[in-house]
Every structure is written in structure tokens, then in C-alpha cells.
């Protein structure tokens, strides 16, 4: 052990006697380790971001959105294999629109369906005493909370009796509760949504959602919504499935190229599938079922958020691979730099090596001295590289709006890589120093 400590001290002396050269030698390792830290931080941040997004929408989910064909009969395309058409003749005719009956049919026909959450969304004025807010009133079932991983933070959720009777009760988002009640306890109070009064029985647990995620996944900020039982919405507020003179005149307005009113009973539905492997075929089956029920009219679109996230993940993995190659090249260049400097150091210190050998040092001692010197330079460079990499990751996150996550294992990997580079690229100079003939070395000026 004393021999190892002696060789280590001699290695440190060699480093500090040539501080500038040692620092320049370590630069390659510094930038290489910094690149590794930043790369792993970006990769881990992207992975965590995808996991967070999946928790927002629920895994294995399929989203069905109601669409109103434009004046030419067309509608937006989707990623589920649904065939849309812009042929006016193909789109003429009656379609009942997206409805609760469609959801019941999907649940009955499709064995892969786990839960279905239909939603009716309508912007309206929310009044409480003298406070007026514009917000979304959303008609839902209890499956809505499970699919979207939402919890009622205060109060209680909806009961079966509320849906059976169409009770005038509501659960409010945390943000709208704060604005309407301003420090008061909302539970048991009444608010007016449009022309209907509701009793507040619960407050949704607050959940922060980044604006970018809201746009990417087509989800809402539920903190600003008021939720009521879907049966109450249809009975008390609006049921667009009821046929009146507006529905009878729908086709006439289409022929005149006027804007159609929303005739869908529900605006959106999220369907959870039992297994991930069933998501894509289930999306295609949903499209076929709805198309048949809607008399071959394409007035809906189907989205599979998980597939969008997988595409995003593949893109991120490609970027991570490129970053890993760049980081590897940086470390390789740093290792070659260490080897070159150490070889030059051997030539400069031939006489020192000769003196050590003549005083009884063995080849093993000389090898250990130069190996310790190379490894020490790599570890010092690794330490500085970690600091630089963490700072670079934070700068990237702040300036480019790219999520980064620095983990302890990325730091451990960086140190191991740095030590490995010093060991591998310091071995050749150490062996060359050890193989020098002591007598020849002492004669060297």
C-alpha cells in the first residue's frame, strides 16, 4: 500500500509541477464528459416528459373528436386510417352525429374496450354572487377522472344517484374555484352556469400542465373547468340530439354553403384499451363502426396520443444517439490528447525515470506513476466536465425550452468513463517509460 501511495504522490507532483500542460491535457476530457452529462440529461428529461404526458392522457387511450364537415363536405384527415373525402355528393345526407349511443355500441361490440369517457364541452358564463367568469362547463361520467388520472382534492366526487336523477351538482377546477370564491370554502356554495344553478360538491386537485403539452396532446387545462354529470348537462343545459327546426334545415344550409351548427350530442370521447398492442387495430375498428353508424359520413376524427408520443420518443432517441456519438468523439479526442501529452512527458522526464530506476524502483513502480498521473488528469477533467455539463444542461433547458434531468447515475457513468479513458490511453506511455534502460536514461541530458 505504501508503494501505491508513493507512486500516487509522485503522480500528483508531476501534475502540479506542470499545471498549464495538465489543464490543457484535461480539456478534451472536460468537454467530452460535459457532452455526456448534457446528452444524458436531455435524454432523461425527454423520457420523463413522455412519461408525464402519458400520465396526463392515460396509457392505451384513443380519442374520438366530433367534426363538422365544411361547406364542401370535407373534414380533416386523421391518423387512424379513416378515409375522408371532399366530394360534396359523398357527404350529403343525414348523420346523427357523435352520441352516447355510439359509445354504448363501441363498448358492446369491442372486447378490447376498458373504459369510455364521453364529454360535452361548452363555454359559458359562470356566476357566483357578483363575480362573473367565462369558463368551460364539461359534462362527464366518472370514467373521466380515472382515464385522465384526476383526483378530487376536497369534497366528494359524483355518485351514481347524481347521474340517475340528473342532479344539479358540480365539481370545480382549482383555478376557477380560487377566482370565484377568493379565499372562501367553495364546498356547499352555489354557482350559476349559464341559466342553471349548481351546488359545488367537490374541488379538483390542482395539476400543473405545461402549455406545450396542452397543445401537443390536445388536452385542456382542467383547473379552469366546471364539471357536471353528463346526464345533467343533457337535461338541464343542452342536448343537441333533440331534433328541431334547426336540424331539419341543416341540409338546406349546407346546399347554400352556410356554416353548419354543431349537431353532435357529445364533443369528444376518450376510450381506454385493455392492452397496448390492441390500440392501433382498435382505432381502425372504431373508425369502421362509427362510419357505419353515421351512414358513411366522416364527421369525426380519431387520434391515438400514445402513437404520437412514440413517434416523438423515436425522434428523441435518434437525437440522443447523435449526441452520444458526438460525446464519444470528444472523449476519444481527449484520450488521444492525454496519450500524446504523456508520451511527450516521458521524453522530457527520461532522466527522472533513470534516477528512480537506479534507486531501486521497479518497472511496475514507473508504470503505476504514469498511470496514476493519466488517471488523475482524467478524473480532474471529469469533475470539471460534470460541473460544465450540469451548467450546459440548465442553460439548454432555459434557452431552448428542452426538458433536461440530471441523474446520479449519469454522473457515475461520466466518472467511470473518464477513469477508463485515463487508464486506456495512459497505459502506452507508462509502459514506454518503464521499458527505458536506466543507464541510457541517466546519460540523457
Looking at per-residue confidence, does 410 or 119 come out higher? 119
Give the containing element (helix H, strand E) for 102.
Answer: helix 100-109
Distance (Å) of CA 97 to CA 153, 265, 291: 35, 7, 10
Q: Parse the chain into domains and list their residue ranges.
A: 2-53+310-443, 115-239
pLDDT at position 255:
46
Decide: pTM greater than 0.75. Answer: no
Q: Report whether pLDDT(343) > 80.
A: no
Give the C-alpha separation, 54 to 7, whole Å: 54
Average pLDDT over residues 345-355: 68
Q: Where are the beta strands (DSSP E) in 266-310?
A: 268-273, 300-303
Task: Note the pLDDT tens digit of each residue in 111-139.
Answer: 888 889 999 999 999 998 888 888 999 99
Average pLDDT over residues 219-232: 87
Cell digits of residue 413: 457513468
Looking at per-residue confidence, does 419 or 102 come out higher? 102
Q: Report whether pLDDT(387) > 50.
A: yes
Q: What is the mean pLDDT of the chain?
A: 77
Give the C-alpha separation, 64 to 62, whole Å: 7
Task: Note the pLDDT tens digit of each residue in 21-34.
Answer: 777 777 777 887 88
**Of 37-46, 89-98, 209-218, which range is least confident?**
209-218
Helices (H), 294-407: 305-348, 350-358, 363-400
Confidence of residue 84 (pLDDT cuts 50, 70, 90): very low
Q: Report whether pLDDT(172) > 70.
A: yes
Cell digits of residue 313: 420518443
Average pLDDT over residues 31-48: 76
413, 36 in Cβ contact below 8 A?
yes
33, 385 in Cβ contact below 8 A?
yes
Distance of alpha carbon 379 from the chain centroid: 33
Give the C-alpha separation, 377 to 373, whole Å: 6
Give the C-alpha separation, 218 to 401, whole Å: 19
Looking at per-residue confidence, does 169 or 349 come out higher? 169
Amino acid at each position: 500500500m505504501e508503494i501505491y501511495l508513493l507512486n500516487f504522490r509522485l503522480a500528483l507532483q508531476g501534475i502540479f509541477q506542470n499545471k498549464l500542460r495538465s489543464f490543457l491535457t484535461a480539456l478534451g476530457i472536460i468537454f467530452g464528459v460535459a457532452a455526456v452529462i448534457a446528452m444524458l440529461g436531455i435524454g432523461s428529461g425527454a423520457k420523463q416528459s413522455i412519461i408525464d404526458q402519458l400520465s396526463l392522457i392515460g396509457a392505451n387511450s384513443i380519442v374520438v373528436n366530433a367534426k363538422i364537415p365544411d361547406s364542401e363536405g370535407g373534414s380533416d384527415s386523421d391518423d387512424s386510417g379513416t378515409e375522408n373525402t371532399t366530394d360534396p355528393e359523398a357527404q350529403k345526407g343525414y348523420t346523427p352525429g357523435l352520441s352516447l349511443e355510439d359509445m354504448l355500441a363501441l363498448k358492446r361490440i369491442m372486447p378490447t374496450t376498458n373504459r369510455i369517457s364521453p364529454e360535452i364541452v361548452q363555454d359559458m358564463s359562470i356566476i357566483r354572487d357578483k363575480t362573473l367568469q367565462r369558463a368551460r362547463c364539461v359534462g362527464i361520467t366518472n370514467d373521466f377522472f380515472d382515464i385522465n388520472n384526476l383526483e378530487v382534492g376536497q369534497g366528494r366526487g359524483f355518485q351514481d344517484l347524481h347521474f340517475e336523477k340528473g342532479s344539479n351538482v358540480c365539481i370545480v377546477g382549482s383555478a376557477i374555484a380560487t377566482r370565484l370564491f377568493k379565499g372562501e370554502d367553495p364546498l356547499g356554495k352555489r354557482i350559476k352556469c349559464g341559466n342553471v344553478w349548481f351546488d359545488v360538491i367537490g374541488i379538483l386537485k390542482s395539476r400543473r400542465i405545461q402549455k406545450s403539452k396542452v397543445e401537443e396532446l390536445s388536452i385542456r387545462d382542467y383547473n379552469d373547468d366546471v364539471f357536471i354529470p353528463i346526464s345533467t348537462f343533457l337535461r338541464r343545459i343542452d342536448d343537441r340530439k333533440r331534433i328541431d327546426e334547426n336540424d331539419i334545415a341543416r341540409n338546406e344550409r349546407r346546399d347554400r354553403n352556410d356554416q353548419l351548427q354543431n349537431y353532435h350530442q357529445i364533443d369528444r370521447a376518450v376510450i381506454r384499451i385493455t392492452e397496448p398492442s390492441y390500440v392501433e387495430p382498435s382505432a381502425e375498428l372504431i373508425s369502421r363502426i362509427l362510419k357505419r353508424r353515421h351512414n358513411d359520413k366522416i364527421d369525426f376524427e380519431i387520434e391515438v396520443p400514445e402513437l404520437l408520443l412514440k413517434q416523438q420518443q423515436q425522434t428523441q432517441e435518434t437525437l440522443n444517439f447523435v449526441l452520444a456519438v458526438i460525446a464519444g468523439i470528444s472523449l476519444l479526442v481527449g484520450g488521444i490528447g492525454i496519450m500524446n501529452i504523456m508520451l511527450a512527458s516521458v521524453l522530457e522526464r527520461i532522466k527522472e525515470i533513470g534516477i528512480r530506476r537506479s534507486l531501486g524502483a521497479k518497472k511496475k513502480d514507473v508504470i503505476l506513476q504514469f498511470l496514476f498521473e493519466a488517471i488523475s488528469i482524467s478524473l480532474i477533467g471529469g469533475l470539471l466536465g460534470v460541473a460544465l455539463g450540469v451548467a450546459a444542461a440548465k442553460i439548454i433547458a432555459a434557452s431552448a425550452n428542452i426538458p433536461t434531468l440530471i441523474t446520479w447515475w449519469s454522473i457515475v457513468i461520466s466518472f467511470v468513463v473518464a477513469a477508463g479513458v485515463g487508464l486506456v490511453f495512459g497505459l502506452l506511455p507508462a509502459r514506454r517509460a518503464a521499458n527505458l534502460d536506466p543507464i541510457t536514461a541517466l546519460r540523457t541530458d
